[in-house]
Amino acid sequence: MNTHKITIVGCGPGALDYLTPVARAAIEHAKVLVGAQRLLDLFPTQDAERIVVKADIETVLGQIAARAGQKRVVALVTGDPGLCSLATPIVKRFGRAACQIIPGVSSVQVAFARLGLDWLDARIVTAHDKKPDTSAAALVREKKLAVLAGNDTTQPWIASLATALAASHQVFVCENLTLPDERIRQIKPSQLQTMKLASRTIVLLLHKEVLQ
Domains of the chain, CATH where assigned: 6-105 (3.40.1010.10), 108-207 (3.30.950.10)
Instruction: List per-residue pLDDT tens for the chain, 212 residues long.
Output: 346 899 999 999 999 999 999 999 999 999 999 999 999 999 998 899 999 998 899 999 999 999 998 999 999 999 999 998 899 999 999 999 999 999 999 999 999 999 999 999 999 999 987 888 888 899 999 999 999 998 888 999 999 999 999 999 999 999 999 999 999 999 999 999 899 999 999 999 999 999 98
- Half-sphere exposure at residue 113, Cβ-oriented, CA atoms within 13 angstroms: 9
Number of C-alpha atoms within 13 angstroms, CB side, residue 135?
A: 2
Instruction: Give the single-character DSSP code of 14.
Output: S
pTM, full prediction? 0.92
Q: From CA 19, how far away is CA 190, in angstroms rounded?
A: 36
